[in-house]
Chain A
């Protein structure tokens, strides 16, 4: 599969989740596990541009696909993505444990918006990502600011 633009090939047990492979085999620990049952969104990564819960998504399913994790959001020259910058400027996190998943869910939402496919509003798009720290207000503000330029 391709991870953050880099082709990787790994031997993994078919029962291994994508989160396990990312975290324990590839040491991409920006992807977090919290509930392990596809509820909290902390483990959200994008597979071919679509958000998935990597805690329950089998690594096997990602064969030949493009996976984007939080480590791949910054641009290749090291510059932060506008969404990352907006999260910092708007204080869209505290402990940061939900942040990777939140950024990727928001990233997918913004990409859809750019394609003119506004089937969801931002509240729906992020409803599957729990943040226990912030109360969401600055998260929504940051995403909307990027969306509206």
Chain B
């Protein structure tokens, strides 16, 4: 069979080109009400009083305020339980929910919001993560919040500063002082990344209803049905089987829909209304619900004259906004990956997760990693320039290699990093003369590379069902967010059972039916769910073989499977189709065989040393960019870009390329213009009118996506994962190209806006300009 490595057409294609596909936003239930949320106009304030009497008196209107949060555990959060369903006594960012209203139409609900009176007492705000970490900063959560059971926490006290530091991570190796003492050059810089918007075109949406058993039904656009079920059960004091989470197709997520977001609020107001309630966020509310972590990275690196990096110290301040959400985990990941994919003898890496009065920062494609890659890969080119070593060559000299021990203690096996780097260099004509620029413009090239890990430990279950006609169904709680999971998972099953891919269908999540899956995050679906599905299918294959053995009167060891039949090796005429095996087994052409499997990755990092096993698999990627800079306006334009990712094994190459292209273009936006802007605590561009995302006109004229295949040990057919790999190296490759074009003038804060380019040129008079 050749199901693996083949770009079979997407299973959801016919639904998506005809408009038949159903997303959560399309859900309508009989008797359903529509919710709207009253949100804080202040970045930080005490809530003195909420008077909803007038609103509640309007016909058909149901209001939810803090007073209704009885009989439940109102705070949620997957690391720290610090986020109330609606504000209890304090609001912490502009957009923080204060109350909610449900009514027959969204307009009626919106109108009722006007009738809720809230009395606020404004408090001092803090918007910068490093300032917020200082011990004299205004504190957002004066009471330390309980840890969620799933979170392996770090003692935050070690990293304070103020109570705003809600988590921290530290790891070290070697002797930092000795390392710097042995260096010929020391580079010390600060890099900054602003908050950015995910841009999921489908806003967050959820529909909740309660039945007369007291069971909660939720239809949601979440990436985490299994965990959202768990979180809702915790909040409402239910058992997991009393909560049902169904996830239709999801219209883009990129991390914005990981773990509970709006589901607790919708469930709470539906409980009060006694009717189904739907909430679909407006774009402005999506901005208030999720962002990528802003980050300030201080990086100090000691290098010998020959280019060997001997010491690196990083301190990264992750801005998690008003609530922790996944911040403690994203900052941990960024922390241990802050040294980069290099052999560095002496390292000290520290990250801080800090509250500020911004909208909550949540998972975002790359999960804390692009922020530090921006820092270390930009600095790498400053090092190369100072030592007069080619940037590609400098990386070659320091790259991690097969069998190296990472700073966490993980041993890296078969990394495809050098191949990824060489591939983009070749595609980008690295080393050949840069084309002549038009008058008034300059052209430069840059490369960058990155390493990322996957969420570990984690687990995924898969249940495979062989029907009497030989067709197959996979039950899984992994979410089709567009990445193509329903196609790739069908492929690994088809391969395992030697049947055509078209014989396999893959479920969407319904926690009443589909088994546990950690979440559709961290580039883990093909690796973890794919492995579970492969193992489950192998169990069915095994059952078919043993049934066929008795039916064919042959030894199992003499049997093989091909094209939906079991046959005796060497005599193809002694063969039975799957359907025939089942018919003989049950005595009728009806019934089904089951195969279940759980794939569990083990590991985790010790809270005190920061060491252990960080990841079950690793992702390696690289990018090379050629950028033209308008010397008068400062505007940078990407002319060409090549990206590569070590995917282990491409199950569906076309879908892998799509992941790379999408990552590339999103990262290009973050490099050149994307930024969520705040002015005195107020967000000023929470609309697509003001927040630009890359359109077709921003696309580089030339683009290469290269797949490197260094098989992983545990992934199905050697697959590693691909969803996030390319997001990290793109911005620094572009930044390095800009700096090269400007003779070394460097922008250290994203985005690389025209103003920053001109300022960098001004500060560096010797730059060619």
**Are both chains from one complex?**
yes
Residues of A within 8 A of B662 (CB): 94, 132-135
Q: Are the C-beta atoms of B251 and A135 separated by less than 8 Å?
A: no
Q: Which residues of B contact A37 (CB under 8 A)?
A: 283, 687-689
Q: Which of A57-65, A98-106, A111-119 contacts B (4 or more CB under 8 A)?
A: A98-106
Asked if residues B200 and A91 are in contact (CB atoms below 8 Å), the reply is: no
Report the bound CA distance from A84 to B693 in whole Å.
25
Q: A91-B7, A91-B655, A133-B482 are in contact. Are A71 and B282 (CB under 8 A)?
A: no
In the complex, the answer to whether A30 meets B202 with C-beta atoms within 8 Å is no
A135 to B26, CA, bound (A): 25
- Choose from A28, A96, A123, A126 the contact partner of B249 (Cβ within 8 Å): A96
**Residue from B17, B198, B484 with most neighbouring chain A CB atoms (10 Å):** B17
Does any Cβ of B come within 8 Å of A127's Cβ?
A: yes
Question: Contacts A70-B18, A132-B666 known; A95 to B250 CB distance under 8 Å?
Answer: yes
Complex CA–CA separation, A33 to B281 (angstroms)? 11
Given A34-B283, A123-B697, A132-B199, A96 and B687 contact (CB-CB distance below 8 Å)? no
B contact residues around A84 at 8 Å (CB): 17-18
* CB <8 Å contact, B17 and A89: no
Tell me which residues across on chain A come within 8 A of B9, comparing CB atoms: 88-89, 91
Contacts of A71 in B (CB 8 A): 18-20
A97-B23 contact given A32-B251, A135-B664, CB 8 Å threshold:
yes
Q: Are B689 and A127 in contact (CB under 8 A)?
A: no
Q: Is A49 an interface residue (CB 8 A)?
A: no
B13 at the interface (CB under 8 A from A): yes
Total A residues in contact with B, Cβ cutoff 8 Å: 52
Q: A1-35: which have CB < 8 Å to B?
A: 23, 27-35
Contact between B17 and A80, CB atoms less than 8 A apart: yes
Known: A88-B9, A91-B658, A96-B12. A70 touches B19 (CB 8 A): yes
Whole-angstrom CA separation of A71 from B21 in the bound complex: 11
Residues 191-235 (chain B) with a chain A CB within 8 angstroms? 198-203
A35→B690 CA distance, assembly (Å)? 11
Chain A contact residues: over half helix, strand or loop, or mixed? loop
B663, closest chain A residue (CB): A135
Contacts of B602 in A (CB 8 A): none
Nearest A residue to B21, CB-CB: A96
| CA A64 to CA B374, docked complex, whole Å | 55
Nearest CB to that of A93 among chain B residues?
B16
For residue A135, which residue of chain B has the nearest CB? B661
Residues of chain A contacted by B249 (CB below 8 angstroms): 95-96
The answer to whether A30 touches B20, judged by C-beta atoms less than 8 angstroms apart, is yes
* B699 A73 Cβ-Cβ under 8 A: no
Q: Kindly state whether residue B481 has any CB partner on chain A within 8 Å.
A: yes
B432 contacts partner chain A, Cβ-Cβ < 8 Å? no
Residues of A within 8 A of B199 (CB): 130, 132
- Are A134 and B661 touching (Cβ within 8 A)? yes
* Nearest A residue (CB) for B15: A96
Residue contact B252 to A95, C-beta cutoff 8 Å: yes
Q: A132-B199, A132-B666, A135-B664 are in contact. Are A80 and B18 (CB under 8 A)?
A: yes
Name the A residues within 8 Å of B687 (CB-CB): 35, 37
Check: A44 CB closer than 8 A to any chain B CB.
no
**A81, closest chain B residue (CB):** B17
Tell me whether B14 is interfacial, beta carbon within 8 Å: yes
User: Counting CB contacts under 8 A, is B673 at the interface?
Assistant: no
A87 to B18: give the CA distance in the assembly, Å: 11
A127: B residues at CB distance < 8 A: 695-697
The reply on A47 being an interface residue by CB < 8 A is: no
A114 and B282 CA atoms in complex are apart in Å by: 38
Looking at B282, B654, B695, which has the most chain A CB atoms within 10 Å of its CB? B695
Indicate whether B516 reaches chain A with its CB closer than 8 angstroms. no
What residue of chain A has the Cβ atom nearest to residue B665's Cβ?
A135
**Contacting pair B696 A123 (CB below 8 A):** yes
Using A37-B283, A88-B9, A133-B662 as known contacts, say yes or no to A69 and B19 having CB atoms under 8 A apart. yes
Specify the chain B residue showing the minimal Cβ separation from A85.
B17
Query: Out of B7, B16, B658, B689, which one reaches A96, CB within 8 Å?
Result: B16
Q: Could you tell me the distance in whole angstroms from the C-beta of A36 to the nearest C-beta in chain B?
A: 6
| Interface: B483 (CB within 8 A) | yes
In the assembled complex, which residues on chain A have CB atoms less than 8 Å from the CB atom of B654?
91, 138
Check if B405 is an interface residue, CB within 8 A of chain A.
no
Q: Is A40 an interface residue (CB 8 A)?
A: yes
| Cα distance A135–B698 in the bound complex, in angstroms | 10
Distance from A118 Cβ to chain B, minimum over Cβ atoms (Å): 17
- Complex-state Cα separation, A30 to B7, whole angstroms: 26
In the assembly, what is the distance between CA of A36 and CA of B201, in Å? Answer: 11
Given A32-B251, A133-B482, A134-B662: A98 and B201 interface contact (C-beta under 8 Å): yes
Which of A37, A69, A137 has the most chain B CB atoms closer than 10 A to its own CB?
Answer: A137
Q: Which residue of B lies closest to A29 (CB)?
A: B26
A144 at interface, CB cutoff 8 A: no
A132–B200 CB distance below 8 A: yes
Check A137 against B201 for contact (C-beta < 8 Å). no
Which residue of the partner chain A has the closest CB to B703?
Answer: A137
A93 to B697, CA, bound (A): 18
Considering the chains assembled together, what is the distance between the CA atoms of A35 and B201 in angstroms?
8
Q: Are A31 and B697 in contact (CB under 8 A)?
A: no
Alpha-carbon gap, A88 to B8, bound state (A): 10
Taking the closest CB of chain A, its distance from the CB of B694, in whole angstroms, is: 8
Q: Which residues of A contact B10 (CB under 8 A)?
A: 88, 91, 93
Interfacial chain B residues near A50, Cβ < 8 Å:
none
Q: Could you say which residues of chain B place their CB within 8 Å of the CB of A89? A: 9
What residues of chain A lie closer than 8 Å to B6, measured between beta carbons?
none
How far is B17's CA from A96's CA once the two chains are assembled, in angstroms?
A: 8
Chain A hits for B17, CB < 8 A:
70, 73, 80, 84, 87-88, 93, 96, 99, 103
A-contacting residues, B362-387, CB 8 Å: none
**Set of chain B residues within 8 Å of A70, measured between Cβ atoms:** 17-19
> In the complex the two chains form, what is the Cα distance from A93 to B20 in whole Å?
15
Instruction: Among A31, A32, A36, A135, find the residue whose CB has the most chain B CB atoms closer than 10 A.
Output: A135
Residues from chain A with a CB closer than 8 A to the CB of B282 are 36
Q: Does B609 contact A (CB under 8 A)?
A: no
Decide: A134 and B201 in contact? CB cutoff 8 A.
no
Q: B residues within 8 A CB of A30?
A: 18-21
B671 to chain A, nearest CB (A): 14
Contact, CB under 8 Å: B688 / A39 = yes
Determine if B254 is an interface residue (Cβ-Cβ < 8 Å): yes
> Of B19, B23, B484, B688, which is in contact with the most chain A CB atoms at under 10 Å from its CB?
B19
Collect the chain A residues with CB atoms within 8 Å of residue B661's CB: 134-138
Cβ-based interface call for B22 (8 A):
yes
Residues of B within 8 A of A131 (CB): 201
- Closest 7 pairs between A and B when the two form their complex, measured CB to CB: A30-B19, A95-B482, A135-B661, A97-B251, A96-B16, A94-B482, A70-B19
16 A-B contact pairs sorted by A residue (CB < 8 Å):
A32-B202, A34-B201, A39-B689, A70-B18, A80-B18, A88-B10, A91-B654, A95-B482, A96-B16, A97-B23, A103-B17, A132-B252, A132-B693, A133-B658, A138-B654, A139-B696
- A37-B687, A96-B21, A135-B660 given; name 8 further pairs at CB < 8 Å: A42-B201, A73-B18, A88-B17, A95-B250, A130-B688, A132-B666, A134-B661, A136-B699
